[in-house]
Amino acid sequence: MKLLDDSCTLSTKRLLLRPLRPDDAAPLFALFNNWNVVRFLSSPPWPYTANDAEWFVSQVIACSPELNEDVLAITKDGRFIGMIGVRLRKANALQRGPGPNIGYWIGEPFWGHGYMSETLGAFAQHLFKITDAETLYSGAFTENAASLRVQEKVGFVRDGETMLFSKPRGGDFPHVNTALPRTGFQAGGMAGGASAAANLRSRRKI
């Protein structure tokens, strides 16, 4: 089920999130063919090739049921710098309830500038606006402290741990599940972590 319409475009203070285009395959490959990026993800192949990038972009544009994910390019001043996506999932080991699950990555040259927090905040705000989801889900491998900090800045709170298979690394690794309750999210893209955690604990008691 698609959550984003084909023309979905989101603007932040410094960035533009837009649908993928065929010409994104080349910059995607240039940034994603990097072990420092791919090793923290669960599903991409490694080594990563230009053909892999072209296939992925074509599948997103075609709304392939095989991929089953809505994806936006993250751009700065017209330059492709990463991606963020969402898919609807049933309750499973990665999320305690059904709902949207968010994944993302940003190219290494653009780390450390707050772009991912800015992106995730705007994306979460948009999902709460266009869906009736009470909780958004995400997470990261335990060792990916930077990604967990990004989620915490937006208001996601830790919501369990599991082991998750990493295709590029070829094994199971500890994974931290995170959740962002609607009631803990403030308009503008950022939320108080303590407030979100309190709301999540309250929901668990019901």
The answer to whether residue 166 sits within a structural domain is yes
Q: For tokens 């065929």, name the residue.
A: 22
Rounded to the nearest 10 degrees, what angle do helices 25-32 and 50-61 cross at?
Answer: 130
DSSP string, 40-104: T-SS--SS--HHHHHHHHHHHHTT-TTT--EEEEEEETTEEEEEEEEEEE-SBTTBSSSEEEEEE
| pLDDT for res 189 | 46
- Inform me whether the pLDDT recorded for 36 exceeds 70: yes
Give just the sign of the alpha carbon dihedral 110, 125, 102, 63: negative
pLDDT tier at 204, thresholds 50, 70, 90: very low
Q: Which residues pair with 164 in a beta bridge?
A: 173
Q: Domain count of the chain?
A: 1
| pLDDT for res 54 | 98
Q: What is the pLDDT of residues 116-175, one digit of tens each?
A: 999 999 999 999 999 999 999 999 999 999 999 999 999 999 999 999 999 999 999 999
pTM: 0.90
The answer to whether residue 86 sits within a structural domain is yes
In which domain, by residue range, is 63 found? Answer: 10-205
The answer to whether residue 1 sits within a structural domain is no
Closest CA to 137 of 63, 196, 79: 196
CA angle at 8 for the pair 4 and 10, rounded to the nearest 5°: 115
Domain CATH number, residue 166: 3.40.630.30
| pLDDT for res 185 | 85
The answer to whether residue 66 sits within a structural domain is yes
Amino acid letter, residue 171: G
- Inform me whether the pLDDT recorded for 191 exceeds 70: no
> Do residues 59 and 83 lie in contact, with contact meaning Cβ atoms separated by under 8 Å?
no
The answer to whether residue 4 sits within a structural domain is no
CA dihedral 86, 90, 95, 98 (to 10 degrees): 80
- Inform me whether the pLDDT recorded for 198 exceeds 60: no
pLDDT tier at 206, thresholds 50, 70, 90: very low
The answer to whether residue 3 sits within a structural domain is no
The answer to whether residue 5 sits within a structural domain is no
The answer to whether residue 2 sits within a structural domain is no
